[in-house]
Amino acid sequence: MSQTSSAPTARPSSPSDDQLLAQGLTSQEVAQRQQAGLTNQQDKSTSRSTATIIRTHLFTIFNLVLGLCGLAVILVGSLLDTLFLLAAIANVVIGFTQEYSAKRQLDKIALLRRDPIRVIRDGQISQVPIDQLVLDDLVLLGRGDQVPADAVVLSSEGLDVDESLLTGENDPIAKQPGDKLLSASSVVGGSGRARLSAVGASSRAAKITSEARQFSQIHSELRAGMEKVVKWITLALLPIIAIVLNGQMQAAGGWETALATDAWRGALITSVSSVASMVPQGLALMTTISFAVASVKLAGQEVLIQEQPAVEVLARVDTVCFDKTGTLTEGGVRLDSVQTLEGQLLWGEQAETSTRPQQLESGWDAALGWLGADQNANPTAAALKEPFAQALASAAPAGEQAPQATGVLPFSSALRFSGVELAGSGAWLLGAPEALLAADSPARTQAGDLADSGLRVLVLAHAPALERSSDGKVATRVPAGLAPQLLIIFREQVRSEAPETLAYFRSQGIDLKVFSGDNPRTVAAAAAAAGMDVSAGAVDASTLPESGPQLVEAARSHAVFGRVSPEQKKNMVLGLREAGHVVAMTGDGINDALALKHADLGIAMGNAAPATKAVSRLVLLDGRFDRLPGVLAEGRKIIANIERVTNLFLTKTAFAIMLGVTLGILCWNFPFLPRQYSTADLLIVGAPAFFITMLPNKRRYVSGFLGRALHYALPTALIITSVLVFVNGYGRALGQQTATLQTATFLALVLMGVYNMTTVLRPLRGRNLAIVASMYAGLALVLTLPVSLWYHQFVLPQGAYLQAVLLVALLGYLLIEVNLRLHRAWIAAKHPAALAAVQEAQAS
C-alpha cells in the first residue's frame, strides 16, 4: 500500500546571475517556488483576534460574580435591584471598544505599496502583483519604484536608493552590482535590475510589520494597581461569598426554613447586595472616564490619544527619547548662506553689498535658481528654489520663465553632484565638496569645518560646457575646465518650539536623549540648537553592537547618538526600560516604529509614516512639540486625582468585605438592599469621585500610590465597619424592624462616607466645599422625598435610636480624622517625596 509523503517541498536551486539577467525565471521555476511557498505573500494577522478580545473583557471572575448576582436578582423578580450591573457593563463595553480600536490600527500597518512590479520572466517584461513575486525573481527598478522585497543588485545604471524611512540616513545611497536592497526603500534616481533574495515573511519590511502588529498593552500604573486589588479580592471572594450566603440564610431562620419558605428570596437579595458591594468596578469605570475626558480635551489641542492610559504614562515618564529629522527638526533644510571660497558672504543675513568678486562667473544665482526649481531636485537642492526664484526669472529671455537649459546632468549618488548647462552662462555643477574640490584646496578644509558645526555644505562649480558622449548625450563625468565658485551652506530647521519644550522637560527632572540615523555631527548641531548639552559630543552608533550590555550602557550614559539603526533604537529603548526608566519615544519614520512600539509611550508626529502612527499611543496631529507639556499636565491631574478617589473606593471595598464577613459570622441580616447600597455608593463614592477627577491638580507623579491608598483606606474601613456593626447590634437589641435598621445603617454610612470624602478635598473651600455640601444635600433628599422613601423602602429611625446613630457617626468622624493625621505623619516619614509633591502643588 503506497503512502503519500508529507515531507516539505525541497528549496529550488537558484539560477546564475548571468542566466537571470538574460531571461529571468522560467514559468517552471516560478511554479516550483510557488509550490514551495517561496512567494511574497504578506501575513496580515495580529496577535489578538476579535474573539480573544471579547473573551478577555467579558469572562473575568468579577464579571462572573456580578453576572450571577444579577441573574439571581432577576430570577427572584427584583428588577429595581439590578442597577449595580451598569458599571460592570460599561467597563466591558469601553474595554472592548478600546482594544478593538487598537487592533484595527495594527491591522492597517503596511510598509509596502500594492503597485504591480515589473519583472522579467521567460525573457519577457511583465507586470506582477507584489504578493505573486517569488524568490529569485528579476525585478526592474526605476525612479519612483519601491523595492518590493529584500534584493541584491545585479546591474545598475546610476541606481540611487532612499533608505531614510528604514535607516534614518537622509542621503540617497548609490547601489552597485552586489549591493543589498532593503524592502520598502525607494528608488530616487537611475535604474537597475535586482534578484529578490528574501520574500514574504523573510523580508525586512515583513519582519518590521510583523513585530509592529503584535498587540501589547500599554503599562498603566493605575490599571496595574487596580488589577492587583482585583487579584487579592478574587483570591478571597469564594470563601467570602460562602460566609455571606450562609450568614444570610441563618439569619432567615436556617437553610431548611429559608428554603421551605420564601425567606430564601430576601436572604438571596441581601447576599447579592453584600457581594456586589465588594467588587470595585466603579474605580475602573472612573479611571476610564477620566482618561476619556482627557482624550476629548487634548483632541481640541491637536493631540490624538490612541490608547487612553497614554495620558497617565507621560506623567510618569522620566526619559524622553527623540528622533532628530521630522521630530526635533522640521524634516528638511533651509538655505543658510552663500559665500565665496575665500569666505566673502554673498547671500545670507549679513551678506556683503560690495561688487561681485572678479573671479566669480556671472549667472551663478540664476543657476542656483534653476537647480532648485528642477522637478527632479533632491530636498537639499529644492531649498534653493525660493531664494533664487527672482534671479532665475531675471535671467530668462523675454516671454520665458527661465533661461534655456542646453544640457542636464541628473544627480547621482555615485558622482555626488548634478549639473545644468544654461545658454549664455555655461555649465554649473552642484555637489559634495569631496567631488568638486581638490583634496589640497583650502576651501575643502573650510567646508569640513562648517560640516563639523552641523551645517550641510555643497559646492557650486562652473565649466564652459558639460561633457558629451559620441552620440551627443550628456556624459556622466566631470567636465573639463571645471572651476569651483561658491560654497552653498544649508542648515536644518530646528522646530521653533523645541528649545522651550526641552527646557520644560529638564526642569521637571526628565532625561533627554536623541537617537538619529543621521551623521553624528549633524545630530549634535541640531541638539545644541534645541538647547541640549552636547559638550560630550555625539556617539557614532555604527561603532556599537546591535544589542547587548555595551549598547545599553551607552544609552544610559550618553545623550546624543548618530547613525543609529532601527534595531539599535529598539534595543536602546528596551535597555533603558529594563534599567527601571519609564521611557517615551518620539519619531516619524518607519525606522522609528519598533522603538515607539517597545517604549512605555510611543509618540508620533502628525506627518509620520502610517505604520509609525499605527504603533504609537499618542499622535501630535499638528507636529508641535509644545503640546507635550499640556499632555503631561493632564496626565498628572489624572494620576493625582485618581489616587485621591482610590482612597474612597478602597475604603468602600474594604468595609464592604469586613461588614459582609462580620455579619455573616454573626448570622445577622445584611442591612442593605442592592438599590439602597447603590444609592449610598453614589453619594459617598460615585458622584464625588466623578467631580474630584475633573478638578485641577498640579501634583507631580510619585510612585507607590496603591500602598499609600491602602495605608489610609484599611483603618478607615475598620472604623466604618465598627460603627455600622454597632448601629445594627443596637437596633437589634431595641427590636427595630428590618426597614428601620436598613435606614439607620444607610444614614450612618453616608454620614461617615461623605466626611471621609472631605479628607481628600482639603482645604474645604470653593468647588471642594460645593461637592461636599451637594452630597449632604443629596442625603437629605433621599431621606425626605416620599418617592425616594418608597423606592428605597426606608423607614426613618426615631427617638433614642436616631440619637445613638448620630452620636456614633460623630464618633466615626473623630476616628477618621485621627486616622488621617496618623496617615499624614506616616507619609512624611516613609514617603517624603509624596508629601513634597503635594506641598509643591498647593503652593503653585
Catalogue the active-site residues.
323
Phi, psi of 322 (to 5 degrees): -120, 145
Q: Among candidates 652, 643, 647, which has minimal Cα distance to 278? A: 652
Q: Is 614 helix (H, G, I), strand (E, B) or coil?
A: helix
Does 696 sit behind a cis peptide bond, omega within 30 degrees of 0 on the bond before it?
no
C-alpha cell at 119: 519583472
- Residue 30 CB-half CA count within 13 A: 16
> Measured between alpha carbons, how far is 38 from 24 in angstroms, rounded to an integer?
16
Count CB-CB contacts under 10 A for residue 831: 17
> Measured between alpha carbons, how far is 638 from 644 in angstroms, rounded to an integer?
10
Q: Among candidates 618, 594, 616, 570, which has minimal Cα distance to 212? A: 594
Residue 441: CB partners within 8 Å, gap ≥ 6?
Answer: 341, 484
Q: Is 388 in contact with 381 (CB distance < 8 Å)?
A: no
Q: Concatenated DSSP letters for 271-299?
A: HHHHHHHH--HHHHHHHHHHHHHHHHHHH
> Measured between alpha carbons, how far is 345 from 341 in angstroms, rounded to an integer?
10
Q: What dihedral do alpha carbons 582, 583, 584, 587 form, nearest 10°? A: -170
> Measured between alpha carbons, how far is 805 from 809 in angstroms, rounded to an integer?
6
Residue 339: CB partners within 8 Å, gap ≥ 6?
Answer: 345, 346, 348, 486, 487, 489
Q: Is 429 helix (H, G, I), strand (E, B) or coil?
A: strand
> Measured between alpha carbons, how far is 690 from 642 in angstroms, rounded to an integer?
10
Q: Among candidates 515, 499, 500, which has minimal Cα distance to 320? A: 515
Count CB-CB contacts under 10 A for residue 158: 18
303 beta partners:
620
Count CB-CB contacts under 10 A for residue 200: 18
> Measured between alpha carbons, how far is 685 from 753 in angstroms, rounded to an integer?
8
Q: Is 274 in contact with 243 (CB distance < 8 Å)?
A: no
Q: Is 538 in contact with 523 (CB distance < 8 Å)?
A: yes
Residue with C-alpha cell 525612479?
143
490 beta partners:
335, 456
Q: Concatenated DSSP letters for 476-535?
A: SSPPTT-EEEEEEEEEEEE-TTHHHHHHHHHHTT-EEEEE-SS-HHHHHHHHHHTT---T
User: Measured between alpha carbons, how far is residue 668 from residues 255, 266, 268, 740 in Å?
Assistant: 14, 13, 13, 15
- Give the 3-state DSSP-derived string for 134-158, with helices as H, strands as E and coil as C: ECCCEEEEECCCECCCEEEEEEEEE
486 beta partners:
340, 460
Q: Is 313 in contact with 582 (CB distance < 8 Å)?
A: yes
405 beta partners:
422
Q: Among candidates 86, 92, 141, 135, which has minimal Cα distance to 119? A: 141
> Measured between alpha carbons, how far is 742 from 748 in angstroms, rounded to an integer?
10
603 beta partners:
586, 618
